[in-house]
Structure 1
Amino acid sequence: MAANTSEPEICQSVLDFVIEGAYPASETIIAADFPVSALSRELDLLAKAREQVESEINALSQGNNFDADGWISQAKQLHADIERSRATARDIVAQHENTEPLELKVHDATAKVGLIETEIEFNQAVTSTLEEVQRLCQQLDAGRTFLAEGKVMDAIDTLEETDIAVRRENLFTNTNVMHILLENVCELRQEITNFLQNSWSELLHIDKLGAKLTLCQTTEHSLEDTIAALTRLDLLAPAVDKFQKSLLAAIIDPILLPALHSHSRRVQASGSSIEIDLQASKSTVAEVLDRIVDVLKFIRHNLPSSITNSFPDSFIPALSSKIISSWLSSAIPTELTGLVEFENTLDHVLKFSRTVESFGWHGHEELVSWVNQAPRLWLTRRRVDSLDQVRRVLAASQGNTKQVERVEKEEVSPTDEALLENATTDDWDAGWDDDNDPETKRPGHGSKEEEEDVSAWGLDDDDDKEDLPESKPDASQDDDGEAWGWGDEDEEEQQPNTEKGNSQDMAKPVNGKNAAHDISSREVTLREQYTVTDIPECILGIVRQQIADSETISQPMHSNSRVVSSGAGLLALPTLILAMFKATASSFYGIKLNSGQMYLYNDSLYLADQVRDLAEEHQLSRLQPDVEALEKFGKLSYSKEMQTQRTIVTDLLDGAQGFSQCSEQPYLGECENAVSATVDRIRDVYKEWQPILSQSACLQSIGSLVSTVINKIILDIEDLGDISESQSQRLVSFCNQVSLLEDLFTPETSDDTTERVPMTAVYVRSWLKFQYLVNILESSLADIKFLWTEGELGLEFSPEEVIDLIEALFAESDYRRKAIAEIRRVARDRQIAL
């Protein structure tokens, strides 16, 4: 040790040496290997030893004398103590390691003890649960035993107790056991329900096949006990409801017999049963109501109030509805002769309602309301019956036809009279109608914008125009509209037969000039025959019946009738009858009759004339709109048929393809077929319509179709830019073929010596123009110029039309230019003169 080392330093070094020697770093005891208490004690000893060393060192340092040998021996002693402490610690660690297997054995034994205790508790719970299930099952078995012995109330008590126990027991919550027990409870409930239903059916036995109700009272099962049991299970209301339905089906329906009108079955009631006879017999409403009253009395006297209390809520209203639908509705008379019996029926219905009310029941209010609405119901029945008669008339019609005569008196001038004298009886209308042609009010006849045929029908020339259902691409389709005098708002003027009230138009001259009415005109009677079916007379019979009954019911003999207030309402039925005819006639006529639309046209106008006379006779101004609507309906039917035929002939003529290259094959053959088919079609239509329409109407209609054809031919020829000589010849032959239709407009005369002059120009508005076109096609340039300057070609053709035809027929030359210049000069002179 160094001589200069101080005592404190030496002491500290010694102390460090001792500690390091006792606990070297490489041999430090790991705390984790020691028990905590042993280590704590060793550390305390070390701390105390160190404090002792430090105190001694401090004491030495304070003195002058320092005994190093003593200090070293003490340090060695301390080192030895520390070694002993370390050995002791190692012993402690070793002993600690030997206790772990024992601790594991202790833990294992503790777990086994807990498992055994849990198993014991589970077994005890299972045992208690099974005991409870056994008890509940025994209760259910006891309930079945009660039910087998007829102790229904005890069975119900057991059922309810078991049900409550199952649902209340906490052991069964959300377990299969609970579901099984609930199923068993439901099975017992169903068994009790079936038992009660069988008992109910035995006590209140309804034989649907035998139509019999029997009340059976037994000592074992009384009706009161069954009702009480059903009430406990909330089954009484469904049982009573089912009983009511069975009662209606088995007892009430056989009395009412909805399927067999005016027939019913008698009722036989005894002390405990009520039976309906199987044999039906003719019965009145009063007898049926009395039989139902007998059934209600039997039910009220023999059934307890717990059953009958619900009758006013469902049974009586259902019964009232059945009575109304089965008997009362059909008891409403359609003839005035049945009003007395109907009044008696209403009295019996009120009596029946009072009887039901005396039982303390309600639900009969529908019957009382039905009686109060008798006037309206009677009028409704009349309306339905009258409309149904219209349907039956149309369905039953065999298409029988007859000739009727139309007679009109008109004022005619001497000029018109001379025309009529020259014409035959059947052709009066054609000549007279031509006087009214709106074309005669103009200097010329050839304008495409003009419409035709007003004259042939004798209609006024109204300014109002009516939209037609068909489009009108050319004048050929315009003819029929003006032939009816249709306007935008007045379809009533669309009629091909002469109308009343047109005498002022009769005075117009035949030649088409505007002449003043001759003061010395006189009245002539005009007659014409046309064909109608048997339907209008049947419809008129229905209309007359409503008017006659309306007048009859206002007589004093019916003053006390409940329905007298609806008498005026009968006058509204003719309007509905005519509306029903218009709504359904088109389909019937189209199915049952050839040319049904033309028959419908004739029938509508004939019916309109008859209804007009009927309205004037009975001063029913309210029917005037219906008359006008009928006329409008008839004219619309005519218009549809005409448009159909115009479309057909136009389509046939379209096969000529505008007569382009008509002199060359195969176009020549197509043109020939098209013209031939068109002519044949018009002749077929004439044969079909001639027996139906009046002579003038038939000629007017055929004239309209011919106008359609020739107008299209004229337009097609005018549209040809260049016409060769061979084409011109073919066009002339085609036009001549169409001209053969002129024989359809030749009047028949009783005198064979009288020359018959065709009246084609009267009925075909463009006929003269068509004939002039033929002349132009086969004439020279000089002849055409002569016809324009000296003839009447200018009345049918405009200058531009003639010039276009000349340019198409003749090649460019000085003669053609001079002829065209002359035509234009004459046209200007005429225009200036006008």
Structure 2
Amino acid sequence: MSFPLPDHLPRQLDVSSNVLSKFDSITLQSLNSSFASSCKAELDESIRLTKTQIHDRICADSSSFQRQLSSAKSLKERLNALSGHVQTLSVTLSDSKSGLVPVLLEALEAHQSLAQESLDADVLSDSLSHLSECRAQLDALQKLVDTGDLPPAVVACHALNSSLISVPGPLKDASVVSEIQARLRVLSNCVEELLSDAYTKSIIVNPSQVVIKPFVLVPRSLKPLPLSSVLSSISSASLALHLSTLRRDILTHYIECSFDQPTSLTVSTMKDTSGALMHVLGRFPSSPNTSDTGSPLANVSTTLDFLHKQLFPTLPSTHKHSFPRSLSKSISTAVLARLLIPGLPSQLEALPAFLQIAHKAVDLEDKYIIGMLDASSEREIKAWVNNVCTHYERQRRSHILDFTRKLIVQSISSSEPTFYAQLSLSQDAPDKVGLVPTDEGDAWGLDGDGQSLNAGSRSAPEEENVWGFDDDLEEEKESQQAKPVEIVEEDPGDAWGWNDEEPVPEELGQGEDTWDDPWGEEPSLSEVTPAVRTVPVLSQRPSADSAPATQRVSRPTDSTSRHPATSGSITESYLVSTLAKSIIRTVEDALREGQELSSSGIFSTSPTSTTTPGVLIMQSGALVLDLYRAVYPIVAAARLVRPGDVMKFSNNCCWLAEEVGRLVTHERGMLVVKDKLEECKSVLQVLADSWYQDGIDRQRTTLGDILASAKGFTDTSDQDRYDDCEMAISRVVREIRSAANAWKPILSKGKYYTAVGAIVEVSLQRILENILAIPDIPEVESHKLSELCRILAALEGLFVEDFSESSFVVSYVPSWLKFSYLSELLEASMADLTYLFEEGALVDFGVDELVKLVRALFADTPLRTKTLDKIMGGHPVR
């Protein structure tokens, strides 16, 4: 059945297809004779038409048809002739009796049989000849093994093995060859064992002696074998293993052991029980008390001389240079790692004796490692000795820094002792800090026996002070004798009265004893009071038509003026940890030690030295300061979250900067050291200022978070909202008092008032900003806000030293007057506000701030409009 054509393809319908289509579509009822006759007639007609077309086509081109017809007949005749010839040729070739192909094949088969017989005879002859030769070699090898002649036996093994490898192909899988190979393996193993046994008898290494026998007698041998023949005959893998073990034992028992414990070596020649000559290198422990410090190098020389004379000449050519060269690296490493580096002294006095040993090590490297062992190395020992000054200084630097690190870590494990330092503020006074320590002894035990960082390099007290580091110590001792020792605690408790949560009473000036000057300043406030001008302040709320009653208060004429305690006094004291004193003492020791090394001249003769002696040790002084700056904030991170400890760390850095400045002044060393110390001084001062500012910023953040809970001081007419705001203000007061309580015994007076003023200022600014941002303040809320503002008035007591005088809060809190006027303006009338504006009392307020405040406090009336016009005209000029 043909496949149906797709609908989109063209169709060529013939008569048979039409007839079949009709049959396909006809039904059983319509199928009759007439339908069959019509179909037959249609087919006949189609056949007739086809014949007619063929006849017409032939008639149309009769000549071509005749030509093609004759060609076809000719081809048929020729095809018949060719078929006859092929049949005849096939019989001639393939006939079973007389055909060419059967005869040729029979001849070839006879020739192949003859050739195979000839080849088999040749292969058999070659195989028998090769087997005969292998058998002869095997018999000769067996004879050599039986007589103990091992070196020729090794050669015979190799020859027989080569013969077995090159056997003819037919013999590769023959059982006779397998048997010969098995016997060869047995004999080879026997020879290898005998040679290994001869090696172990010739070269004996143990912790007590090295024995080398020039000749060795093996079993069944007629004469002793030379050691060189044994080493040359033994297999390369076995020899490499034996030499590796020999190298390890020599290095362990005779090179490295000489550096680890006192050892003596002896070289002797004797005979064993069989009468064989042997050379012995004996080792035995020596007394530690009588041992020479250079004996390890002598032992190395003795060992190498013994090996060079007795062992190296017997080595085969493949190992004659490689084995001695393999000892060079290990010997150099042992000299460095076991003698020079561990023996590098930590005291300057021991350096000359050590340098003598170092020069002996260089001589050993030149004579033995480079000369005898023929090691084209980088001369590691000489390179290290040439830089021994650098190595010594790096070791001392490492010890100094490790000591400093332990000092810092130990200071965290217990409460840090402190002392008061005096900060000079007078312009004509020298810029230096005097010390008033809490006790005369060293709290860290740095002066104890065995505890000093550089006890050996410290000079006696009566020696000349070439550095001038102790110039200020005499002044310090005099001040200690003149003043009684005063121990200061970090937390003085409630001595300041700041732990009370109640507001300061109006009779603040009566408690004069409570506010005695803690810094012991001599000048009183009245002696240096800055110039002031007076401005009016409302003392009560007058009626709308009455003149406002006023009183006079002081305002500084210069906004940059500060309390006279920071400008008129000579010194201010501040608390410093004794750890800082220990750090600066370590720096002084490092500088002194570096100068002593530089002036000693021990390394002045080194032509290859790349650095000036003493520089690295002197530079370690600056590294001590860098280590303190890097390590202390990490290990004391838990402490530095407290306000007092933050400021104490700032004081430490400030005091260290002052002391480093003193060292720079007295520095007589290298310029690079002075530059580094000056850089450390600058960095320490920056660090002190940064931590001081960070302590203030932390309190600012805390106060800002507290004031954020007041939610802008809006809706204070609601009692709950008022209580929340009052609680926030009270928390601010307590937080400021707590910070001031922690800072006052630590900071100098100027820094203390600046820090407290900064946190008070940020609180006032935040409250001012929130209140001035309220668009509408009813009368009830204005009273509430005024009451809230007056709570902060208690902070003025933080800026009073003499209660008979006025406070100096305005000098440190620029917004204090503005905040005070805000509490008055919240309850003032329009007339009071206008009066204060005209008198210039409200100059701290901006014009836009006053306009917003007036619109928030007062209703829209002609009087408010007139007042606003006056305010928008600007502050009065006076």
Alignment-derived partner of residue 605 in structure 1: 654
Does the residue aligned with 2:573 lie in a helix, a strand or coil?
A: strand
Identify the match of residue 758 of structure 2 among 696, 699, 704: 704
Residue 548 of structure 1: aligned partner: 592
Pair 1:780 & 2:829 matched: yes
Instruction: Tell me which amino acid in the other structure corresponds to 2:704.
Output: T
**Mapped partners of 1:669, 1:173: distance in 2:** 115
Does structure 2 retain, via aligned residues, the 8 Å contact 1:442–1:513? no
1: CA distance between counterparts of 2:93 and 2:657? 136
Query: Does residue 1:637 correspond to 2:635, yes or no?
Result: no
Deviation at 1:35, TM superposition (A): 4.2
User: Is 2:426 the counterpart of 1:426?
Assistant: no
- Do 1:339 and 1:561's aligned partners in 2 also have CA atoms closer than 8 Å? no
Deviations 1:396-428 (A, max 9, x none): 33452212221425269xxxxxxxxx9936285
Q: Does residue 84 of structure 2 align to residue 31 of structure 1?
A: yes
- Whether the aligned pair in 2 keeps the contact of 1:317 and 1:366 (CA below 8 Å) is no
Given that residues 166 and 172 in structure 1 are in contact (C-alpha distance below 8 angstroms), is that contact kept between their aligned partners in structure 2?
no
Q: 1:578: which partner in 2?
A: 625
Which of 381, 404, 417 matches 1:367?
381
Q: CA deviation at 1:606?
A: 1.1
Asked if 1:406 is matched to 2:409, the reply is: no
Aligned amino acid, residue 151 of structure 2: M
Residue 381 of structure 1 corresponds to 395
Residues 570/656 of structure 1: CA separation in 2 closer, same or farther (3 Å cut): same
Contact 1:391 1:584 in 2 (8 A): yes
Q: Distance in 2 between matches of 1:160 and 1:614?
A: 82
- Per-residue deviation at 1:656? 3.4
Q: TM-score, normalised by structure 1?
A: 0.64
Distance (Å, rounded) in 2 between the aligned partners of 1:395 and 1:201: 59
8 Å contact from structure 2 (residues 776, 857) kept in 1: yes
AA aligned opposite 2:849: E
CA distance in 2, matches of 1:430, 1:810: 48
1:815 maps to which of 851, 863, 866: 863
Distance in 1 of aligned mates of 2:83 and 2:603: 133
Give the letter aligned to residue 513 of structure 1: D
The Cα of 1:227 is off from its aligned counterpart by: 1.9
Cα deviation for residue 792 of structure 1 reads: 2.0
Quick one: distance in 1 between partners of 2:188 and 2:422? 87
Question: Do structure 1's residue 338 and structure 2's residue 334 form an aligned pair?
Answer: no
C-alpha distance in structure 2 between counterparts of 1:334 and 1:709, whole Å: 58
Q: Give, in angstroms, the shift of residue 372 of structure 1.
A: 3.0
Q: Are the aligned partners of 2:405 and 2:631 in contact in 1 as well (CA < 8 Å)?
A: yes
Deviation at 1:191, TM superposition (A): 8.4
Structure 2 residue corresponding to 1:224, chosen from 225, 228, 231:
228
Structure 1 position 224, deviation (Å): 2.0
Q: Partner letter of residue 801 of structure 1?
A: E
Give the distance between the partners of 2:690 and 2:180, measured in 1 at CA: 78
The unaligned stretches of length 5 or more in structure 1 are 1-23, 38-92, 258-263, 413-421, 445-508, 517-522
Cα 1:551–1:109 change in 2 (3 A) is: closer
Alignment-derived partner of residue 710 in structure 2: 656
Q: Contact 2:590–2:618 (CA<8 Å) still a contact in 1?
A: yes
> Which residues in structure 2 correspond to 1:584-595 (within 5 Å)?
584-590=631-637, 595=642
- Alpha-carbon contact 2:327-2:373 (below 8 Å) kept: no
1:123–1:362: structure 2 CA closer, same or farther, 3 Å change rule?
closer
How big is each residue's C-alpha offset from its partner over 1:62-112, in whole Å with a ceiling of 9 and x where there is no partner? xxxxxxxxxxxxxxxxxxxxxxxxxxxxxxx89997848998799689769
Counterpart residue number, 1:513: 558
- Contact 1:333–1:339, Cα closer than 8 Å, also in 2: yes
| In 1: Cα distance, 2:368 partner to 2:79 partner | 120
Q: Summarize deviations over 1:227-280 as a string: whole Å, max 9, x none.
A: 2124x73775675455334432343333334xxxxxx34234464244464998
Secondary structure of the equivalent of 2:424? Answer: strand
Residue number in structure 2 paired with 1:566: 613
The 1:293/1:679 distance shift into structure 2, 3 A limit, reads farther
Query: Is residue 747 of structure 2 the alignment partner of residue 693 of structure 1?
Result: yes
**Residue aligning to 2:258:** 255
For residues 284-295 of structure 1, the aligned pairs below 5 Å read: 285-295=293-303
CA RMSD after TM alignment = 5.4
Query: How far is the alpha carbon of 1:714 from its aligned partner?
Result: 2.0
My pick for the range that moved more, 379-388 or 603-612, is 379-388
Name which one, 1 or 2, has greater alpha-carbon Rg.
Answer: 1
CA 1:199–1:25 in 2, change beyond 3 Å: closer, same or farther?
A: closer
Alpha-carbon separation, structure 2, partners of 1:583 and 1:294: 52
Partner secondary structure for residue 627 of structure 2 = helix
Map of 1:171 onto structure 2: 169
After the TM superposition, which of the residue ranges 591-600 and 118-127 deviates more from structure 2? Answer: 118-127
Task: Tell me which amino acid in the other structure corresponds to 2:649.
Answer: L
Structure 2 contact 633–640 (Cα < 8 Å) conserved = no
Residue in structure 2 matched with residue 535 of structure 1 by the alignment: 579
- Relative distance call for 1:34 and 1:803 in structure 2 (3 A) is closer
**Of 795, 800, 813, the match for 1:764:** 813
> What secondary structure is seen at the aligned counterpart in 2 of 1:404?
strand
> Within the alignment, does 1:320 sit opposite 2:332 as a pair?
yes
Letter in 1 for 2:577: T
CA contact (8 A) 1:732 1:777 kept: yes
Q: Is the 8 A contact 1:435 1:512 kept in 2?
A: no
- Contact 1:403 1:529 (C-alpha < 8 Å) held by counterparts: no
- Deviation sequence 1:778-803 (CA, Å, 0-9, x none): 33333222222225221x21111111
TM-score by length of structure 2 reads 0.61
> What are the superposed Cα offsets for residues 29-73 of structure 1, whole Å, 9 maximum, x if unpaired?
972586469xxxxxxxxxxxxxxxxxxxxxxxxxxxxxxxxxxxx
Structure 1 contact 203–215 (Cα < 8 Å) conserved = yes
State the secondary structure of the residue aligned to 2:776: coil
CA contact (8 A) 1:426 1:695 kept: yes
Cα distance in 1 for residues equivalent to 2:186 and 2:724: 91
Q: Distance in 1 between matches of 2:603 and 2:858?
A: 90
User: Equivalent residue for 1:392?
Assistant: 406
Cα distance in 2 for residues equivalent to 1:813 and 1:366? 99
The answer for the alignment partner of 1:161 in structure 2 is 159
Q: 1:267 aligns with which of 264, 280, 290?
A: 264
Q: CA deviation at 1:137?
A: 10
Which residue among 773, 777, 797 is the counterpart of 1:723? 777
CA–CA distance in structure 2, aligned partners of residues 593 and 96 of structure 1: 117
Q: Distance in 2 between matches of 1:137 and 1:442?
A: 133
SS of equivalent to 1:651: helix
Residues in 2 aligned to 1:724 and 1:442: alpha-carbon distance in whole angstroms: 34
Between the aligned partners of 1:666 and 1:161, the Cα distance in structure 2 is 114
Deviation, 1:198, is 6.5
Are the equivalent residues in 1 in contact too, given 2:325–2:374 (CA < 8 A)?
yes
Where do residues 31-110 of structure 1 align in structure 2 (5 Å cutoff)?
31-32=84-85, 35=88, 99=97
CA contact (8 A) 2:777 2:857 kept: yes
The one-letter amino acid of 1:815's match is L
2:246 aligns to what?
243
Please report how far the alpha carbon of residue 285 of structure 1 lies from its aligned counterpart in structure 2 after TM superposition.
Answer: 4.3
Structure 2: distance between partners of 1:580 and 1:315: 43
Paired amino acid for 1:401: P
Query: Which runs of 5 or more residues in structure 2 are unaligned?
Result: 1-76, 219-224, 269-279, 429-514, 536-553, 562-566
Count of residue pairs the alignment pairs up: 654
Give the partner amino acid of 1:160: H
**Larger helix proportion, structure 1 or 2?**
1
1:628 aligns with 2:676: no
Distance 1:628 1:135, change over 3 A: same
8 Å CA contact retained: 2:519, 2:572? yes
Query: Equivalences for 1:430-509 in 2 at 5 Å?
Result: none
